[in-house]
Amino acid sequence: MTLDPNDVEAKKDALIAAARRCFETGLQTNAGGNLSVRLSAAEAVVIKPSGVGFAEVARDNLQVAWLDGRIEPSALKPSKDLDFHLAIYRARDDVNAVVHCHSPWATGWACAGLEIPCCTVQTIEKIGRMPLIPLSPNGGPQTEAEIGPVFADPSVRAAVLANHGTIGVGPTLTKALHLAEIIEETAQVAFVRDGLMAARGMAGADLPRFGTAADARAAG
């Protein structure tokens, strides 16, 4: 199978726009994190390489990797996250984009070893639950061995990586990016909620059961 240059360039441009939005909104600084998007005309993805910041991505530094692990010729080092991105794509035909960020509020929860609660109706509707994926058995970053099985569940759209960051996936790059933003927003809201409850001696607060009014009505 050959690559369609128009497809590649279009996906690169979409990835550049998404990466810069992540940087401008504070979801990712420096050269950490990663994002990728599936090509429409080939079993391959466009992905940010290692050592390139979200603010610096460009057509000439993004890489193309095939789902079998082959990488198109590039002078740059492949991302350390490449294997788990590919594992998600291979397991999920419904996933066409992966956004992995080290966003500060969500990563704070991750470093505390806490699953971010879905405490807003939007989070219930859009995500449902964000599993906390522990570090690898040797105490290192999560790999495809830890991440792949979680995302093999088609109901999982987002996850938090202990001591690491977050992952949002979606049928489009925009939807995956929106999930990354919702994760970070929810982490901040939950932190504020917990602080307010602690200051007032509250033991707990109600959580929404449904994300939309239509779902609530349908449940009776």
The model's pLDDT over 32-50, given as tens digits with 9 standing for 90+, comes to 999 999 999 999 999 999 9
Residue 146 lies in a domain: yes
Residue 38 lies in a domain: yes
Provide the pLDDT for residue 205. Answer: 85
CA–CA distance, 162 with 112 (Å, rounded to integer): 8
Provide the pLDDT for residue 8. Answer: 97
Provide the pLDDT for residue 23. Answer: 97
Tally the domains of the chain: 1
Residue 218 lies in a domain: no
Domain that holds residue 73: 5-200
Taking the model in full, what pTM does it have? 0.94
Residue 217 lies in a domain: no
Q: Which residues of the chain have pLDDT under 70?
A: none
CA dihedral for 138, 154, 178, 72, sign (positive or negative): positive
Provide the pLDDT for residue 109. Answer: 98
> DSSP code of 199?
H
Residue 216 lies in a domain: no
Residue 22 lies in a domain: yes
Show Cβ contacts of residue 178 under 8 Å, excluding neighbours closer than 6 positions: 126, 168, 170
Provide the pLDDT for residue 215. Answer: 86
> DSSP code of 143?
-
Residue 115 lies in a domain: yes
Provide the pLDDT for residue 63. Answer: 97
